[in-house]
Each structure stands twice: as structure tokens, then as C-alpha cells.
Structure 1
Amino acid sequence: MSALHAGDPASFAADVLDEGPAEVEYEPGIAGRRPAKTSAGGALIRDSAGRVLFVVPTYKPVLDIPGGMTDADESPKAATIREIREELGLDVELGPLLVVDWTPRNGVWRDCHQFVFDGGIIDGAVACDDELEAVVYLTLDEARPRIYPSLYRRLTLALQALETKTTYYAEFGREV
């Protein structure tokens, strides 16, 4: 799979060519004055008991879901697949997009678009990355004191999306 696109690389390359030549600036410098946003992709993975898979990072004091920040020219879905391979040693085929959530700037971190995909059911996942201490399967209520409130809200929407087969747009974990 291409770093640019998690789907068919050949059709993606054709789509890029169909766009025509790279866009040029008619007003020099305008693109450089635009704010830069980050994006991240994560997977809602559950076990057969319905508990959510959380990773225990070594670099922050809270639990998170498998996934991470996108690299340059990488889609959120491709980043999620790459991060799951790095963090858990698994090659997964992600299901549908469940939630797109905008999160505001927080300290050193810029505002971000967070994408949550259905990661399916995986029992017995283990941490395979030095950035992780472990993985744990917890219900959302069990995880609540160990995750950011915005992630709790985002995952609540993601679980709702699984049931309703609807993708939700949220801002800081709240559907809008």
C-alpha cells in the first residue's frame, strides 16, 4: 500500500494524474500563510467480549487507541494501518470510518482532525513497539478515568456509529 493512500495505489496514482498539473499560487506566499493542521487516525478495536483495545503509551500519562499522527503525504487510514502494524504487529483491513473529530490546540499540539475507523474484533493483541508499555481491553466506563474526556466522548460516538451504521462528525468529541 502506498504511504499516500490505503486503497489501490494504481487507481490513486491515476486520480492524481487526472487532477492535472500541480496548482500554482496566483498570490505568492498565500499558501505559506495558511495555518497547518495535523491529522491522526485510530482504530476502534474490540475483543469478542465487546471491550475496547487501548494502548498504554510510554510517552504520555493516559491510554489511547491504536493509531497515530499522519506522516507527510499519508492519509489518516494509511496512518492507522501503519501504526497498528508498528504498535501491535498486525496487518488489519479497516472497516468503515466511524467518527471525524476536530480537536483544538492543546499546549504544544496544533488543532487536529482525528479519524476513527472500525478495527473489528481482535482477541489477544499484544504490544510490539518500544513506545508502548502494554495493551489492555477495557469497557469505556473502566477506561474513563485513564483517558482524556474528549477521547471518551469520541469513542462513545464510535460505538454508537457501529450500531447505527452512521459516520459522525464531532468537535472535541461532541457531535455537531
Structure 2
Amino acid sequence: MARREETEAERLRRIAILNARLPKKRNIAQGLLRNPAGEVLLCELSYKQEWDLPGGVVDPGEPPAVTVAREIDEELGLHVAVGGLVAVNWLPPWRGWDDAHLFLFDLGVLDGELDPARFLPREIADAHWVRPEAAAEHVAPYTARMLEAVAGWTPGTTLYLEDGEPTGGAA
């Protein structure tokens, strides 16, 4: 018996049902921005206790690399060139948030000053250059583990992490 061809309207209805039922995963895009001394930029956020790497939540339909550049421009007033993907980090549920994927991009070295007058006050209370090994004093545990895991990152490679820990696989 010949199979009936699905109409475009039927196909779109089927996809809408699947989209409504399949899990939604939050995606986060952050950047690893360093200064000439090798310190990393951490943002003191106005809405949470832990400091964090610059970046933010990926908007629907937005590529993560675009997100990190947009967020840093909006929140810190910096225009950055987004380099290679350093790591993909799966984050388990934490403090009421569902699990998520975090995309960490290389933003290179900033050989200049930050201008606090350009910070978006509803997001950024301050920003600090911190030695990577001292970051754990300020950031969430998964961020500290991720920074430790990417300390020896080689450009052109991408690490795959789960909760900030290497799994032995590549992304």
C-alpha cells in the first residue's frame, strides 16, 4: 500500500507537538577574556552572589558566539572578537535552575582598560581581573572547576566538560 505524503501543515503540526513535549535546554555563552598579565575577567553581578565570566543566556534562534559578543557589548561596553570554542560544559541542575549547556569562547587578550561608566548597572556591579587559580574564591564551584579544566587549553581544540570536569571526550 502506498504511503500518503504528509502535507506541509501536517508536518508543521507534528513538529509543534514535538517541540512542546521535548525537553528545553537552557544555553549559556560565556567568554574567557584575559589581560596581558594572564588574569581572567570576572563580573561581579548585581543579581547573584557569585562572580561569573562575562556572557549570558542564549536567546532563542541566536548562535552562542553572537550571544557572548552581544552580552559583553551590552553589559560591559566592550566590543570583542569571539575566537574559538574553548569548551562545552554540561551543567546539572543547580540552585533551582534546570540543567544547561555552557559554551565557553576564547576572547583573547584585552590590552586596555575597562570603563565602569559603561557597565550596565542592572547586571554588572563591577568587574575584576583575577588570577585563574584565585577565581574559586569568587565564582560558583562549577565555574571554578571549568577554569581549572581549561587552564591548559590549546587553541584549535574544544574540551567537553560535565559540571566543569573533563570526561575524556572532545566536543
Please name the residue that 2:3 is paired with. Answer: none
Please name the residue that 2:133 is paired with. Answer: 141
Q: Contact between 2:29 and 2:67, CA under 8 Å: does it hold in 1?
A: yes
**Aligned partner (choices 98, 109, 125) of residue 114 of structure 2:** 125
Q: 1:28 to 1:133 in 2, by over 3 A?
A: closer
Q: Contact between 2:76 and 2:124, CA under 8 Å: does it hold in 1?
A: no
2:61 pairs with 1:76: no
Residue aligned with 1:160, SS: coil
2:101 pairs with 1:113: yes
Aligned residue identity for 2:65 = K
CA distance in 1, matches of 2:144, 2:16: 43
Taking only aligned residues, the RMSD between alpha carbons, in angstroms, comes to: 2.0
Which stretch of the first structure deviates more once superposed, 117-126 or 63-72? 117-126
Q: 1:27 to 1:147 in 2, by over 3 A?
A: closer
Q: Contact between 2:133 and 2:148, CA under 8 Å: does it hold in 1?
A: no
Q: Which runs of 5+ in 1 are unaligned?
A: 1-20
CA distance in 1, matches of 2:42, 2:16: 45
Please name the residue that 1:61 is paired with. Answer: 49
Aligned residue identity for 1:105 = P
CA distance in 1, matches of 2:157, 2:15: 40
Residue 43 of structure 1 and its aligned partner are, at CA, apart by 0.5
Structure 1's consecutive aligned runs of 4 or more residues displaced over 4 angstroms after TM superposition are 25-28
Residue 31 of structure 1 and its aligned partner are, at CA, apart by 2.6
CA distance in 1, matches of 2:161, 2:151: 14
Q: Which runs of 5+ in 2 are unaligned?
A: 1-7
Q: 1:33 to 1:55 in 2, by over 3 A?
A: same
Q: Deviations over 1:142-168 (max 9, x none)?
A: 22111112101112233322x364210
TM normalised by structure 1 equals 0.80
Aligned residues: 155
Percent identity of paired positions between Structure 1 and Structure 2: 32
Q: 1:144 to 1:116 in 2, by over 3 A?
A: same
2:157 pairs with 1:169: no
- Higher-Rg structure is 2
Q: Contact between 1:39 and 1:70, CA under 8 Å: does it hold in 2?
A: yes
Q: Contact between 1:116 and 1:158, CA under 8 Å: does it hold in 2?
A: no
Q: Contact between 1:126 and 1:135, CA under 8 Å: does it hold in 2?
A: no
Please name the residue that 2:81 is paired with. Answer: 93
Residue 51 of structure 1 and its aligned partner are, at CA, apart by 0.4
TM normalised by structure 2 equals 0.83
